[in-house]
Amino acid sequence: MWKKLRILSMALFKTATILFLICILANLSSNSSQQSKPITSDDKKLYARVHADKSNINSIVSHTVSPKNTDSVVDKNNTIKVLVKNSILKDLVKTNTTKVVVKNNTTKSTQVYDYSFPYLHVPVQVCKSNGAKSDPFLLIVVKSDVNHIAHRIAIRNTWGASSNSGIKVVFLLGYSPLMKPFIQMESNMYKDIIQQNFLDDYQNNTLKTIMGFTWVTTHCSGANYIFFVDDDYIVNIKYVWDHLHRLYIARKRSVFLGYVWKGAKPQRNAKSKWFIPKGDFKDDVWPPYASGGSLVLTVDIINKLLTQFKFMKPIFIDDVYLGIVCKELQISLIHESRFSIRYQPDRMNYLFSSHGFSSPMKLVEDWEKFHIKYDMVV
């Protein structure tokens, strides 16, 4: 019986993936014949790659395309210009000088950072402000690489597929000119994409997090708890749901939960992926911070952080940046080891989440093992 269920689930997942890709290919073909939607040079490159690979479903789904050599892209209406080369955090965030009131009603000039970018896609019927009957008790916000279509399909068909109306899932994406037709189709089909007009790049993770915070406070401020998680995690939804309900009953409605690191040091090696120069952060030890792959906040905390972001110089390591801002605001971080930062399949009956699912098929396979055994569905 178990074997049959597993085979059926895998077949359904593969079918969903194939159907999604067929829709994309059909959309690309139809767009190429429409006079009202002129094909850009970047679209042509994407069409060529998709049609060249269409005999191999896996290569299309997992294919990583890089727009980093593109100088600029203009959308079909000639309204959105995206500078791709050097379009990372330090180049994208604008600064202004303004006067703020300090002690004794005196004022001083201070630098203000502008994190505003236009939305390219927003969800529908997730929260009350965008068509749902009410705001969810738990809003799950998944930070996802724009190329990870298969990861998002896997999540929608596993731990993100709860029928509980009190749980909603959305995905945060940056922009990629070569993935534009894919994301347009995905957004049209699932209506759960939040995307702004900045390059999807590791150096822009902080922008992606701020985008999520901004959308939540503007469009879903009635949600009780916000669960931020990366797309390579598996989540024990029932365990999270039960724990948050206990917090709510206990009136713990202003929290920041996560796997908290203390005593970590900035990487000063210029060749490192995580290199931070002294000019960006002068201290030798990071303040306590919660691992950004999996954490829970309440909207009041998010509002406080958003207000402070514009006065704090950004760094690209988003979880560390949140820790720096939390220290400035004296926001307490609550350590929870159940937000696992590593792959621990033997502890899924205890964990809120587990890391290490870079393969979407692995996520599906493990979900099939765990969700019945450990009763992980709400």
H/E element, 97:
strand 94-101
Phi/psi region, residue 191 (left: phi>0; alpha: psi -120 to 50; beta: rest), is left
Phi/psi of residue 234, each to 5°?
Answer: -110, 140
> Where do we find the tokens 């954490």?
295
> Is the domain of 146 the same as that of 7?
no
Contact present, 291 and 319 (Cβ < 8 Å): yes
DSSP 178: G
How many domains, in total, are found in the chain?
A: 2
Instruction: Kindly state the percentage of the chain with pLDDT values over 90.
Output: 62
Give the model confidence (pLDDT) of 115-145 as tens digits.
Answer: 889 999 999 999 999 999 999 999 999 999 9
- Say yes or no: 134 and 56 in one domain: no
Choose among 376, 212, 210, 218: nearest CA to 306. Answer: 210
Q: Which domain holds residue 38?
A: 2-64
Residues 179 and 32 in one domain: no
Q: In this structure, what token pair is assigned to residue 277?
A: 């120069």
- Amino acid 310 reads K
CA distances from 157 to 11, 30, 55, 75, 364 (A): 12, 28, 24, 32, 8
- Is residue 80 included in any domain, yes or no? no
Which of 64, 85, 105 lies at the terminal end of a domain, its last residue? 64
User: DSSP for 321-344?
Assistant: HHHHHHHHHTPPPEE-TTB-SS--
Q: Is residue 21 part of a domain?
A: yes
pLDDT in tens, 184-224: 999 999 999 999 999 999 999 999 999 999 999 999 999 99
Q: pLDDT value at position 80?
A: 31
305/326 Cα distance (integer angstroms): 7
User: Residues 49, 184: one domain?
Assistant: no
pTM of the model: 0.78
Q: Quick check: is 94 in a domain?
A: no
Q: Is the domain of 272 the same as that of 344?
A: yes
Q: Domain check: are 148 and 47 in the same one?
A: no
Mean pLDDT calculated for residue range 299-311: 96
DSSP notation for 124-160: SSSSGGGT-SS--SEEEEEE--TT-HHHHHHHHTTTT
Please return the burial class of 235, using the count of CB atoms within 10 Å of its CB with bins 0-12, 13-18 and 19+: buried
Q: Where are the alpha helices (DSSP H) in the chain?
A: 2-32, 41-53, 57-62, 89-92, 149-156, 180-190, 205-219, 237-249, 299-309, 318-329, 360-373
**E strand or H helix that includes residue 268:** none
Q: Which of residues 45, 64, 83 is at a domain's end?
A: 64
Is 296 among the domain residues? yes
Query: Does position 81 have pLDDT exceeding 50, yes or no?
Result: no
> Are residue 319 and residue 234 in the same domain, yes or no?
yes
Residue 139 belongs to some domain of the structure: yes
Q: Both 60 and 144 in a single domain?
A: no
Instruction: Rank 227-231, 360-364, 368-372 by mean pLDDT and report only the highest.
Output: 227-231
The Cα-based distances of 213 to 19, 109, 116, 225, 244 in angstroms read 32, 26, 12, 12, 19
CATH number at residue 145: 3.90.550.10
Averaged confidence pLDDT in the chain = 80
Residue 177 lies in a domain: yes
Q: What is the pLDDT of residues 263-293, one digit of tens each?
A: 999 999 999 999 999 999 999 999 999 999 9
Question: Do 172 and 270 sit in the same domain of this protein?
Answer: yes
Within this chain, do residues 52 and 149 fall inside the same structural domain, yes or no?
Answer: no
Given a contact cutoff of 8 angstroms between Cβ atoms, the answer to whether 140 and 233 are in contact is: no
Residues 56 and 175 in one domain: no
Task: Look at residues 66, 68, 115 and name the one whose alpha carbon lies nearest to residue 92.
Answer: 115
Q: Do 18 and 165 sit in the same domain of this protein? A: no
Mean pLDDT of the 22-48 span: 40
The closest alpha carbon to 266, from 255, 256, 277, belongs to 277
